[in-house]
Chain A
Amino acid sequence: MKIKNVKEFEEFKRNIAKRKKDIVISVSSGTCGLAKGAEEVFEALKKEIEINGLEKKIEIKATGCHGFCQYEPTVVIKKNDLEVILINVNEKDSKKIIESALRRKKSYTPKEIKEFVSKQKRILLENNKYVDPKNIEDYIAIGGYTSLSKALNMEGKEIVEIVKKSGLRGRGGAGFPTGKKWDMCRNQKSDKKYIICNADEGDPGAYMNRALLEGNPHLIIEGMIIGAYAIGADEGIIYVRSEYPLAVKNLEIAIKQAEEYGFLGENILSSGFNFKLKIFEGAGAFVCGEETALISSIEGFAGEPRLRPPYPAEKGLYGKPTNINNVETWANVPFIIAYGWKWFSSIGTGKSKGTKIFSLVGKVKNTGLVEVPFGTTLREVIYEIGGGIKDGKFKAVQIGGPSGGCIPEKSLDKKLDYEEISESGAIMGSGGLIVMDEKTCVVDVAKYFTNFLRYESCGKCNSCREGLNQMYAILDRITKGKGKLEDLTLLEELGEYIKKASLCGLGKTAPNPVLTTLKYFKNEYLAHIKEKKCPAGVCKELIEYSIEKEKCVGCGKCNEVCSTGAIDLENYKIEKEKCIKCGACYEVCKKGAITIK
């Protein structure tokens, strides 16, 4: 059904509100939920509702990711104002869940989730709990497309002004002021303009964008329509990596529905504004997330970055003015229009406004998607939201993805704020947070990221391609105990050079892991070089496994798992010549009798 104008839209909203059922059960069915059996839970609950003839009373929906990744599948029961969150749900619990949903008189949140959401401010993610991404009416029911209807009544310039004043900055990494970018593109004279949503999300371990795309695609679409109207673009492209099949599917459905309902297409809500939206599936290279490489890739060329100027706002896709923003940036737009720039700019710090979603992974107790206002400290995120280190002691947190930086304990009171994070040598990036404990070797970590980046560089710039290769070679010899003291200065020089001499953001940030670990953990590098020791016990060439006679109970488990027969149980010895340092014995020994030196 096509909604032709604002009046019809208002009436439509009233009608949906009337259709609401008493109880709504949502099953978190994002990629992570599905992997842990969300579909089975959903089916079991649905069957239970049908068996008991409760279809009129209870609505069940498969929603996107709720962000409690560690406790999937999770189920949220909403009964008027009452909300019950259930974690680690099993399909066998369906009967109990339905019964209790009917009886329930009090809200309930498990303590793990309470801790996890304590310091969060969930604006963008919150609705993932309530909308079925495959149903546009769900989105409309929570106020969706109301901002669009409001925006179409304003001048494009007015909208750009609001976004400018809100202080919204790009969430794709660089933090460029969004309103300013829109203004640049809006001011270009051209018969054709494009807008693009960057949903390439190539950082390993990061999935903030995926959660929004899968769980609430209309939010992004609405943001894009508003942006297109403000800028004067009539065509938009969502560039999604093909490794996100569910996101692609949900976006396809959402675009089709938005067209059917009249939010996309010709003369949207009788405003005279036309806009069409398409999906482009990316080929899966990390560098294709860089905006100019992304544009080349859509045009059918190799995914290699181009020199700026000209900026995409001047000459972008097919040489036309193009505005490109990240998924999360677009997702903020409908909220800013709905609640105003004053509201938005009241959240956050001096120059970083609003909230930011992080994917918190690694050695913390609670992992998952975390949405916090800018200005929250890393310590709060790791110790309060994350619940602290699983076991052992904190060592560092890598912020900003593979080309971010490693931040030590003493800097944990740094606020999450674009400028404050850059000062520490790291970058905000798109929001990856990897927490490491003392069993992590920072030299090994730097080597790991450098290796990732040397493969993921497009390979055009000598500085980036060969520079990273040389950087890797140096790190490799340090982790093998063959490093020299001069290597440290060489690494520093090389790092500065790669940053300055390379064309795009990849090369310009790639040395960050090395430079920050050198800055904050120099002693660990020195231990590898001078003492030929890896203090964290990670670098194979520098460690030795042995059996502590006093602790050994002679169970022989180590002997069973050792693939090379290096264990001499009679003499409590591990034969050096045979040991390949796989660490299997260390993992299997319950008595802690295997030690690393």
Chain B
Amino acid sequence: MQERCYYDKMKDKVEIKIDGKELIVPSSATILDVANEIGIYIPTLCHNDALKPYASCRMCLVEIYTNGRKRIVTACNYKVENGLEVYTTTKEVEKLRKINIEILLAKAPDSKKIQDLAFKLGVSETRFKKEKGNSCILCGLCARICEEIVGASAINFYDRGNKRKIGPPFGEPSEDCIGCGMCAYVCPTNTIEIIEKDGKRIIEPWGKEVKMKKCEKCGNYFIPQPLANKLEKEFGLKDAFKYCPKCKNGKG
């Protein structure tokens, strides 16, 4: 039996099978898109629907068959194709996900998000050497959101192999950073911190300091100045940030 496709108006449709379910889906979808749509759980860490798939955390591994050939691939960036068969819960896949989270757990032992995911996958301890002091799992969410959504491209990957890092160019606080803090919000390991004091906001570990803007009515600091400037300029919101939201709505 074929289930109905989940988009009505599809230009390019392909037929696939996922965990035994036969589906017709748009050819632009990834395996993860389809799984999410029909309620099949595939764990992810470096994925965010607002961003392009990146496939660095390797959490979303699934088993696929194309033309009779078996492969293990990441669901987040694998585009569906005609005749594709996907299995999301085979023994092999489960084993790989477990050891993957064990390794992540060793890298970022204090991350609540990783601990929770490990628990969900039935892993309570890691057999690997725990790293101290550097919990960045290089998922790239911060750099990607900064580029794709914020449009600042203030931070990026540099170096390769086990020396790979994320940060501003040359390790110096970036001119392009507007202090919006999006990077900190998406970071799954709390590696990025926002510190606010004395009318300033500091984003660590990027070492970036930006001035906060004062509400012209109540005098409270409420938005980073460069962020306000950017929003005013890009969206033509002149004087939109004169007052803090409370004062603006007369609740100040």
In the assembled complex, A138 has its CB within 8 A of some CB on chain B: no
Residues on A with beta carbons closer than 8 Å to the beta carbon of B127: 486, 490
The verdict on A454 contacting B162 (CB below 8 Å), with A462-B58, A467-B103, A500-B72 known, is yes
Give which listed residue, B77, B129, B161, contacts A473 with CB less than 8 A.
B129
The verdict on A461 contacting B58 (CB below 8 Å), with A470-B103, A470-B129, A497-B100 known, is yes
In the assembled complex, B96 has its CB within 8 A of some CB on chain A: yes
In the assembled complex, B8 has its CB within 8 A of some CB on chain A: no
Minimal beta-carbon separation of B212 from chain A (angstroms): 34
A465-B107 Cα distance, complex, nearest whole Å = 11
A159-B104 Cα distance, complex, nearest whole Å = 50
Residues on A with beta carbons closer than 8 Å to the beta carbon of B157: 302, 459
Whether the Cβ atoms of A307 and B106 lie closer than 8 Å is no
In the assembled complex, A272 has its CB within 8 A of some CB on chain B: no
Please report the number of residue pairs spanning A and B whose Cβ atoms sit closer than 8 angstroms: 91
In the assembled complex, B164 has its CB within 8 A of some CB on chain A: yes
Chain A, residues 458-471, CB within 8 Å of chain B (1/0): the string is 11111101111110
Whether the Cβ atoms of B72 and A501 lie closer than 8 Å is yes
Whether the Cβ atoms of A465 and B138 lie closer than 8 Å is yes
Whether the Cβ atoms of B160 and A500 lie closer than 8 Å is no
A-side interface mostly: helix
Whether the Cβ atoms of A465 and B164 lie closer than 8 Å is yes
Whether the Cβ atoms of B103 and A458 lie closer than 8 Å is no
Whether the Cβ atoms of A463 and B162 lie closer than 8 Å is no
Give which listed residue, A287, A307, A455, A466, contacts B107 with CB less than 8 A.
A466
In the assembled complex, A457 has its CB within 8 A of some CB on chain B: yes
In the assembled complex, B132 has its CB within 8 A of some CB on chain A: no
Whether the Cβ atoms of B55 and A307 lie closer than 8 Å is yes
Minimal beta-carbon separation of B70 from chain A (angstroms): 11
In the assembled complex, B12 has its CB within 8 A of some CB on chain A: no
Give which listed residue, B55, B81, B160, contacts A309 with CB less than 8 A.
B81
Chain B, residues 94-111, CB within 8 Å of chain A (1/0): the string is 011001100110110000
Whether the Cβ atoms of A462 and B96 lie closer than 8 Å is no
Residues on B with beta carbons closer than 8 Å to the beta carbon of A465: 138, 161-162, 164
Residues on B with beta carbons closer than 8 Å to the beta carbon of A473: 128-129
In the assembled complex, A84 has its CB within 8 A of some CB on chain B: no
Whether the Cβ atoms of B96 and A501 lie closer than 8 Å is yes
In the assembled complex, A203 has its CB within 8 A of some CB on chain B: no
Chain B, residues 41-62, CB within 8 Å of chain A (1/0): the string is 0000000000000011111010
Residues on B with beta carbons closer than 8 Å to the beta carbon of A500: 61, 72, 92, 96
A235-B109 Cα distance, complex, nearest whole Å = 51
User: B79's closest neighbor in chain A, by CB?
Assistant: A309
In the assembled complex, B244 has its CB within 8 A of some CB on chain A: no
User: A500's closest neighbor in chain B, by CB?
Assistant: B72
- Which residues of chain B (108-164) have a CB below 8 Å from chain A? 127-129, 137-138, 157, 159-164
User: B73's closest neighbor in chain A, by CB?
Assistant: A307
Whether the Cβ atoms of B100 and A457 lie closer than 8 Å is no
In the assembled complex, A126 has its CB within 8 A of some CB on chain B: no
Whether the Cβ atoms of B100 and A455 lie closer than 8 Å is no
- Which residues of chain A (438-494) have a CB below 8 Å from chain B? 453-463, 465-470, 473, 486, 490, 493-494
Residues on A with beta carbons closer than 8 Å to the beta carbon of B104: 462, 466
Residues on B with beta carbons closer than 8 Å to the beta carbon of A430: none
Give which listed residue, A457, A460, A462, contacts B103 with CB less than 8 A.
A462
Residues on A with beta carbons closer than 8 Å to the beta carbon of B72: 500-501
A and B contact pairs by CB, cutoff 8 A, 26 listed: A307-B73, A458-B160, A459-B157, A459-B161, A459-B164, A460-B56, A460-B138, A461-B56, A462-B137, A463-B58, A463-B100, A465-B161, A465-B164, A466-B107, A466-B137, A468-B162, A470-B128, A470-B129, A473-B128, A473-B129, A494-B99, A497-B96, A497-B100, A501-B72, A501-B96, A502-B58
Known: A497-B96, A500-B61. 18 other contacts (CB 8 A): A453-B161, A454-B161, A455-B160, A459-B157, A459-B163, A460-B55, A460-B164, A461-B55, A462-B56, A462-B57, A463-B103, A465-B162, A468-B162, A470-B103, A470-B106, A473-B128, A473-B129, A503-B74
Chain A residues close to B by CB (< 8 Å)? 285, 287, 302-303, 307, 309, 453-463, 465-470, 473, 486, 490, 493-494, 497, 500-503
Counting from the closest, the 7 A-B pairs by CB-CB distance are: A459-B164, A455-B161, A497-B99, A457-B161, A501-B58, A454-B162, A470-B128
